[in-house]
Chain A
Amino acid sequence: MSVMVRSIASVPVRTSTETWRAIVDLLARAASPGRDRLLAVTNVAAILIAEEYTQQAPIVVTPAAGARVRVRTVHGTDAVDAQTDEIPLAVSPCAGTAWTMSLPCGIDDIEEIRASLSTHSWITVRDVTDGITADPSEPSTKSAGSLVINYEEMGR
């Protein structure tokens, strides 16, 4: 598996700001430098959520190792059902600082949003109508091998 996909309930279940905080909890649950980075862009991210760009195209997180994470927001009546299906991730992809994030944005707002995030080099902003290109060098996270058998412990 190379991609983990999640949907987060947004308006009217949560405000846009609350939705971003739920996404932060998903990506970096515990206090960490990565969580601080995410919280630092709350206002801008909340705008993208309020404009429903994150419903049309996902937020994409590319960690240094492991699977990519795609997060979409769900709005309107579908948000009620979506809230019951929210599932924590097996890992915290943004706990550290070696990750990047791509945020979707409408063409009318994209320059202004890019300017707002210009000091946050780990975040890029793409046109909401652009597709998502898979990185061919993306590591496979299929679990296999590399277990070392401790025969002494086995015999105890």
Chain B
Amino acid sequence: MTSLTADPETRQRLPICEIPGIADARRLPDGDFTAEWDSIILPADMKHRLVRTAVAGFQLREKVTFSALPLHGVVLLVGPPGVGKTTLARGLADKVARVATGRQWTFVEIDPHGLTGSMLGRSQRSVDQLFNTVLAEQAAAGPLIVLFDEVETVFTNRGALSMDTNPIDVHRAVDAALVGIDRLAREHSNVLVIATSNFADAIDPALASRADQVITVPLPDADARRQILQHTLLAVAEAFPGARRVLAADVLDQAAYVSDGLDGRRLRKAVAAACAMTPGSNGDPDQITGAALMAALEEFREQR
């Protein structure tokens, strides 16, 4: 396992980060993302299957024509908030770059809200520019992984649009995005688009049909909850050794049991909340106790 401490030296943000609609752009592999891959806890084999899907897709798209096997290089991750879809996507991008070597990988994260605008035609123009200029040029320069977080913001389900909004502009933007996805897939076999959404029903069906795989990321089961809590507490204990007392097996077992229904994000935040729950600790993470952790988890469950 890699160090749990992020290394800012590993980040190499690229100039295209300045473009509206681009949230992040960097070279891969990236140490920050490696840590995210290690931190995400999923049911057995789900992570490895995602990697195999991506690698198989690259190999198939390189050798088999699009007309025979219409793979778009799109993986859609759906599921409730907090289960780690975005973290999984970043980690997957890094893992793929470590597995498929030999060329310089680029990672681009789209800020979908930066693509939409109130001016008629602005959204379509931004989307068209994104796919046909920015992403196409990055793809031409080398293998590319695109993270499209909250993808329903751009690939809005056109069938569910209200006429009170601006449906013409949305229609045009969705059309432009679909054309862009198709063109990227046909012209560049080394592009993987990882799209995430909390609202599967809000995604235009045309995108879902283009996805090579739709993965539902579930809430963590008891074993996954235990691992998430352990991972978080280990990270805290690196800086605050007193937190090791909460890493006892019986404490973790009980914490996993009482936290049924919480997502990964809430589990990790519960550890932080527990640091403040121990009376007399004055918020010192070194003073965290098992009882405080259970209380925090119970409180978070009641807040659901």
Contacts and interface: CB of A to CB of B under 8 A. Distances in A.
B140 A1 contact: yes
A1 B190 contact: no
Interface in B194-225: none
A87 B52 contact: no
Given A142-B188, A146-B103, A147-B103, A88 B55 contact: no
B194 to A, nearest CB: 17
A150 interface: yes
A154 B51 contact: yes
A1 B132 CA distance: 11
Chain B interface size, under 10 / 10 to 19 / 20 to 34 / 35 or more? 35 or more
Contacts of B102: 146-148
Interface stretch (B12-20, B168-176, B242-250, B251-259): B12-20
B38 to A, nearest CB: 10
A127 B202 CA distance: 54
Given A143-B190, A145-B62, A90 B138 contact: yes
Interface in A62-93: 66-67, 85, 87-91
Given A87-B16, A90-B16, A154-B52, A147 B143 contact: yes
Chain B binding site: helix, strand, loop or mixed by DSSP? helix
Contacts of A146: 102-103
A29 interface: yes
Contact of A143 (B18, B129, B134, B191): B191
A144 interface: yes
A4 interface: yes
A87 B18 CA distance: 8
A66 B137 CA distance: 11
A8 to B, nearest CB: 14
A146 B105 CA distance: 12
Contacts of A1: 136-137, 140, 187
Interface residues of A, number: 24
Interface stretch (B78-86, B93-101, B158-166): B93-101
B133 interface: yes
A88 B140 contact: no
A144 B138 contact: no
Contacts of A29: 15
B188 A88 contact: no
A150 B144 CA distance: 18
Contacts of B142: 143
A32 interface: no
B58 A88 contact: no
A153 interface: yes
B98 A143 contact: no
14 contacts: A29-B15, A87-B16, A88-B14, A88-B16, A90-B16, A90-B106, A90-B137, A90-B138, A90-B140, A141-B140, A143-B189, A147-B190, A149-B59, A154-B52
Interface of B: 14-16, 18-19, 48, 51-52, 55, 58-59, 62, 95, 98-103, 106, 129, 133-134, 136-144, 187-191
Interface of A: 1, 4, 29, 66-67, 85, 87-91, 141-150, 153-155
